[in-house]
């Protein structure tokens, strides 16, 4: 069965400091990997995705993530955090191709990021 683990429930970071959020997954095949962000009271916004190719992917808002197959990880990073990055971040895994039998995403438990001034 597929699963996603985000080991850090909360992270506090100072504004301007770097941020790294961890994500480990378990999936039967090579997965399609995503990071979503949820600001307070908002829906889920897609930050970036990894499908294939270059294992370092760039997303919106200055975020990047690196896929490491050997470690089953897809960690999210940002070099310099802004106060507006305070939010909850979710890692998700799903099938790489559209399947007739279904295409659900499996989400991690989320990491809440607090930004200190």
Minimum Å gap between C-beta 39 and other proteins is 11
Enter the tokens of residue 102.
């279904």
Between residues 55 and 103, which has the closer beta carbon with respect to other proteins?
103
Of residues 44, 60, 13, 41, the one with CA closest to residue 107: 44
What value, to the nearest 5°, has the Cα angle with vertex 43 and ends 14 and 83? 15
**In terms of CB distance, is 1 or 117 closer to other proteins?**
1
Residue owning tokens 């959020």: 21
Binding site for other proteins (CB under 8 A): 32, 34, 36, 42-46, 49, 90, 94-98, 100-110
d(CA 53, CA 60): 18
Q: Shortest approach of other proteins to residue 38 CB, angstroms?
A: 8
- Smallest distance, other proteins to C-beta of residue 82, A: 21
Among the listed residues 57, 63, 91, the one whose alpha carbon sits nearest the alpha carbon of residue 78: 63
Q: Which is nearer to other proteins, 13 or 44 (CB)?
A: 44
Minimum gap (Å) between residue 115 Cβ and other proteins: 22
């Amino acid at each position: 069965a597929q699963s996603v683990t985000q080991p850090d429930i909360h992270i506090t970071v100072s504004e301007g400091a770097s941020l790294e959020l961890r994500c480990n997954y378990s999936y039967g095949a090579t997965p399609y990997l995503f990071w979503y962000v949820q600001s307070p009271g908002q829906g889920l916004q897609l930050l970036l995705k990894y499908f294939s190719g270059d294992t370092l992917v760039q997303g919106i808002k200055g975020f990047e993530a690196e896929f490491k197959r050997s470690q089953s990880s897809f960690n999210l990073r940002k070099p310099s955090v802004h106060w507006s990055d305070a939010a909850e971040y979710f890692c998700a895994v799903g099938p790489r191709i559209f399947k007739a039998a279904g295409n659900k995403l499996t989400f991690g438990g989320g990491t809440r990021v607090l930004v200190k001034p």
